[in-house]
Structure 1
């Protein structure tokens, strides 16, 4: 399943990228994030791997992020793998007017087992909704300092 989501952030591109390019900031906009642990490579650069642990109440999830392209301020691409699913994500950032940044997020979800294939088929909106939620949370964090940590 492939889809594209975009959002306009009312802050300059450099400010947005500064917030995006920080592991410490992830907890402020990625609800459920419990920990982010560097595994290999140079943090933030091509090929770097990081383990992300999430807790959504009854459901816990571990993702491995692998950076496939880091060309800030314009692009950041990564692959996220977890049990049964791979997400190939391409993020594009551009300054569109004074103090405004467009963030375009392209996702491709690839199920790697039958259960996740069925989930993707039966609940495609849930994946899109999660992406939109994280993007809105990031926008609120950047524009207003609103954090989802300890929410």
Structure 2
């Protein structure tokens, strides 16, 4: 399953990248994030791995983020691996004008196992909705300082 999400952030690209490229800020825009831990490599550099732990309702979810390409401020590509799911994220940060940035996020989900493949086929809207929720939460954090941290 592949799709693209976009959002306009009313900040200069340099400010957007500064807030995005700080792991301490993730808790403010990634709902449910309870912990993260650098596993391997230099943070933010290709090959670096970080374990992310989430609490989503009563369910706990762990995934490994691997940096594929870091060409900030233009683009940042990663993969996320969790049980039954491999997610490729290609993120592009375009200057609209000196005070406005467009974040374009291309998502590709590869599912393993019948159950996960079925969920991806039956519920693509849930994945798209979650991607937009993260983008909107980041926008609100970056522009207004609003945090989703509990």
Q: TM-score, structure 2 length as denominator?
A: 0.99
Match of 1:116 in 2: 116
1:32 matched to 2:32: yes
Structure 1: any 5+ residue segments left out of the alignment?
none
By how many angstroms is 1:95 displaced? 1.1
Match of 1:20 in 2: 20
Match of 2:99 in 1: 99
> What CA distance in whole angstroms lies between the structure 2 residues aligned with 1:57 and 1:119?
18
Q: Deviations along 1:42-86, whole A, 9 cap, x unmatched?
A: 111110000000001211100100000000000000000000001
Q: Deviations along 1:101-130, whole A, 9 cap, x unmatched?
A: 000000000001111101001100000000
1:136 matched to 2:141: no
By how many angstroms is 1:98 displaced? 2.3
By how many angstroms is 1:142 displaced? 0.3
Q: TM-score, structure 1 length as denominator?
A: 0.98
Structure 2: any 5+ residue segments left out of the alignment?
none
Runs of 4+, deviation exceeding 2 Å: none
CA RMSD after TM alignment: 0.5
By how many angstroms is 1:87 displaced? 0.4
**SS, match of residue 134 in structure 1:** helix
1:3 matched to 2:12: no
> What CA distance in whole angstroms lies between the structure 2 residues aligned with 1:98 and 1:39?
36
**SS, match of residue 142 in structure 1:** helix
